[in-house]
Amino acid sequence: MTMFERPPRYTVKNMLPVVFVLLTMFVIWYPYVSIHLAKMLQLDQPMETRDPNTFRRGLVETVVSQTLVLMMFICYWCCVFTEPGTTPDDPEWLPDNAKQMDRPFLNEVKQTTGRRRHCKWCGRWKPDRCHHCRLCRCCVLKMDHHCPWIMNCVGYHNHKYFFLTVLYSCMACLFITISMVEAVQRSRNTDVQLKERFFVVFSMTISLFMGFLLTGFLAFHTWLAFHEKTTIEFCEKVLIRGHTSVYDLGIWRNLHTLFGPNPLFWLLPMSPPVGNGVHHSTATFVAYNPQTAKLKGVRSRASSEGEAKLSGSRGNGASSASAQTRRSAPPSPTRRQTREAIVQPPAPCLPLAPPQIWDEVEGDAAVGAVSSADSPDRGATAPSTKTEEEAIAAAASPEWTHFPSQANGLDDPAA
């Protein structure tokens, strides 16, 4: 099996967590139905001798609990057998595509080089919010995380089913725990078999433990859904103070992105979100320009070589004059100032400039400075420094609309 082939999915190793989840469901569900609900519905008594109040409460608990369990099982099934989505086979994602017209609209680039993200394992360009899963051996669209309990990755096409599975699992466990308190008290006050008492207490304990864990897990994923973030994006940017996701369109539109266009079907395993998972709408963007925004590691080789030539051609006097000019020039705007100055209304994803444009434009800036210094008309005069307003205006140029991202944390470092 080569690195580009996906491993077999239905193996004993992969299916063990799924079997464990199904077994846990059965351990909680069977004692609850056969002991608690059977006693509440009084199935061992004739209809004429049954207590109407107890029967009515048992009927309500049966409908609610079995509806939650059924929805949980359906969502779990959809979550396991729905592919999260991977990079399409379109020519725009193939590395041998050099046509400018076929370049996609992207917001995320390599942090170290400022160029398109590429997966060396799949041999394709990466769309926004796409990451390579080393267990599934493929790139997953809008990857949240790889979940062994569903034997699958949580991505764009099954994220809704995963969220609903956690939601209905949490609600079912909490409802079963609360309603089984009466069965536990009844087993203590009446003379029942030891086996029945054990299963009632054991089922309630497992349900309480699972409900406690799922409550925290549901709260975390609800917060992520409100802010339109994935688990990977949260782990990458949690240490950045005041970080706001560029894909955050507001709570209402974020829920539309996750659950689909029709709010009536948000809590049902149908009406998936609209889109292909490749392009994502953004609320703001950062117009990147090497002359106005200093991002760590994003400096081209042409710019560095041009600065070296410039410093060597001026000599000591010119270098001191240039240093004095730089000290007296107004400071360049920071990344946050540039972001606040260039925020525009909600718009679709922005075009990513070709990789060679970075080197060409930055190199032209450096070479232009060298030519001005070597010009016989100007001599060794220092190049003019742009003011802050001119720098921000230059950053707003349409061909410099980039959003450098750190969306490479869980990928292969060399990818």
Q: 264 by DSSP, 3-state: which? A: helix
* In contact, 28 and 160? CB cutoff 8 Å: no
Task: Please give the C-alpha separations between residue 298 and each of 41, 131, 256, 363, in angstroms, as whole numbers.
Answer: 69, 21, 35, 13
Please tell me the predicted confidence (pLDDT) of residue 198.
92
Please tell me the predicted confidence (pLDDT) of residue 168.
98
From first to last of the 415 residues of the chain, give the pLDDT tens digit: 445 567 788 899 999 999 999 999 999 999 999 999 999 999 888 888 899 999 999 999 999 999 999 999 999 999 999 999 999 888 878 877 655 445 566 778 777 777 888 898 888 889 999 999 999 989 999 999 999 999 999 999 999 999 999 999 999 999 999 999 988 988 888 888 888 899 999 999 999 999 999 999 999 999 999 999 999 999 887 655 556 778 899 999 999 999 999 999 999 999 999 888 888 888 754 433 333 333 333 333 333 444 444 344 444 444 444 445 444 444 544 444 444 443 444 444 444 444 443 344 344 433 343 334 344 444 444 444 455 555 545 544 444 344 444 343 344 434 4
Torsion on CA atoms 209, 210, 211, 216, rounded to nearest 10: 100
Alpha-carbon distance of 271 to 260, in angstroms, equals 6
Structure tokens at 378: 């100007």
Q: Is the pTM of this model over 0.75?
A: no
Q: What interhelical angle do 159-179 and 52-81 show, nearest 10?
A: 160
List 136, 147, 170, 349, catalytic entry: 147
Active site residue 147: yes
Alpha-carbon distance of 240 to 111, in angstroms, equals 15
- Burial class from Cβ neighbours inside 10 Å (0-12, 13-18, 19+) for residue 145 reads middle
